[in-house]
Amino acid sequence: MQSRPSLWCRLAVIGTVAAIPLTFLSLEPAQASGTNVNVVGYSVVGPAFKALESDFQATPAGANVTFTNSFGASDTEANAVVNGLPADVVNFSYEPNMATLVTHLIIPKTWYNQERGVGGVNVNLVGKKQETVYRTPGILTDSVVVFAVRPGNPLGITNWGDLVKSGVQIVTPNPVTSGSARWNLVAGYAAQIALKRTPTEAYEYLKQLISNTIAQPTSGSAALAAFVAGTGNVLLDYEDDVVAAIAAGDKIQLVTPPETVLIQNPVALTNTGITNPSAVAFYKYLFSTAGQTVLAGLGYRSVLKSVWDKTSKSFGSFRNATAVQTVAQLSPQGWSTLNPDFFNPQIIYPAGGATYPEYGIVTYLEKFAGSTS
C-alpha cells in the first residue's frame, strides 16, 4: 500500500436544478463588434482555446474581438463562476459542473440545446443525415482516458490489469477539484464492466488501483506536469492532453488501453454570453467545421461526424463499440446518479446492508488505501 495524501473528501452532490428561458438575439455571427468574450474552462483545454480564439479572430465574425480566459481544475472554475468570475462561454470537464451553474441560474436548464439553436448542429439526425458522432447534445469535444508512461514503456504497461501490479506508481488528479480525476476512476470501472466483470469485481479492481496511486495534484494539467517532472511511472489522463504533451516535446509515451470510457466535455453560453453577440458568434464557430478541425488537430476527437471521418485514423482505435463505455451505458441517468454513487463524501449503505455502499463507493475504497478524510 502506498503512503500518500488524503484524498477526495467533501465532494459535492448535484442538487435540484432551476430553469430560466433560453433566448438569442441573433443566430448569425457578429460582425467585428470588438466585444470581449470571457471564457472559463477546465485546465487541460486552455491551450486549445488559445488556438481557437486566434483562428476565430482571423475570421470576419471575430475581427477585433478580444478574450479574457480563466482555466483551472474543473470544479474550482465552476465554483469561481458561481462566486462571481465573469463568464460568457464555459467549457468544463464533465456535466455536474454544468448542473452547478444551472442551480445558481447562471446557464439555462436547457443549455445543451444551444448546440442546435446556436451552433446549428442537430444531434438527433441519423444515417446519411447524421451530423454528430454521438447523440449527446451540448458536447464540444470527445476524448478517452489513456495512460502516459516513460519512454520505451519500461514496465510494459498495455492494459488496466497492468496498473494494479506491484511496483506501479500511478499519478491521477484529485476528484475534489478535478473532473479529469473522476473520469479516470470511472474509466477503470468501465473497463472492468467491458470485460464482463461484475460490479463487485469492478469495485475490487478500483481498490487496487487506488492503492497504487501515489500523487493526486489539483488538476489534469498539474498531474501531467508532476508526471513529466518525474513523479510516478504511469499517468492517467485525457488522450488529447497526452497528445499535446508529446507534440510539445515532453518525453512520455501514450498507451491506449483496450477498454476505456468515452469522455464528453460540455460547453455552454451563460446568461451574459447569450446577450453578447461576439460570444454567440464564437460559440457558433466552436461547432463549425473550422473550429472542430482545429480541435481535431490538437488531439481532440471531433463531435462532428464529417470532421471525425477525416481525422479518425490519427487516433487510437478499439476492437468494438463496447470497448468504449459511455456514462449513459454505466448509468441510465448519467452523471446525476454516477457522481453520488461513486464520489459522495458520505458512505451510505442500502437497506439491509451490503458489502459495498450504495453511495460513496470511492470514499469507502479510500479507507483501504490508508487515506483519512
- Return the axis-axis angle of helices 46-57 and 289-297, rounded to nearest 10°: 140
* Alpha-carbon gap, residue 146 to 81, rounded angstroms: 29
Cα torsion angle, 346, 104, 24, 291, sign: negative
Delimit the CATH 3.40.190.10 region(s) of the chain.
36-140+263-314, 143-262+320-369
Q: Which CATH architecture has domain 36-140+263-314?
A: 3-Layer(aba) Sandwich (3.40)
Write out the three cell numbers for 298: 490538437
Q: At residue 373, does pLDDT exceed 70? A: no
Residues 105/344, Cβ–Cβ less than 8 Å: no
289 pLDDT exceeds 50?
A: yes
17-72 residue pLDDT tens:
333 333 333 333 334 345 999 999 999 999 999 999 999 999 999 999 999 999 99
Q: Side chain identity at 129, as an amino acid letter?
A: K
- CA 52 – CA 267 distance, rounded (Å): 14
Average pLDDT over residues 189-217: 93
pLDDT digits (tens, 9 = 90+) for 106-122: 999 999 999 999 999 99
Region 228-236: mean pLDDT is 98
For domain 143-262+320-369, give the CATH number: 3.40.190.10
Torsions phi, psi for 303 (to 5 deg): -80, -15
Place of cell 514503456: 153
C-alpha 160/C-alpha 147 separation (Å) is 9
In whole numbers, what is the pLDDT of the chain averaged over residues?
A: 89
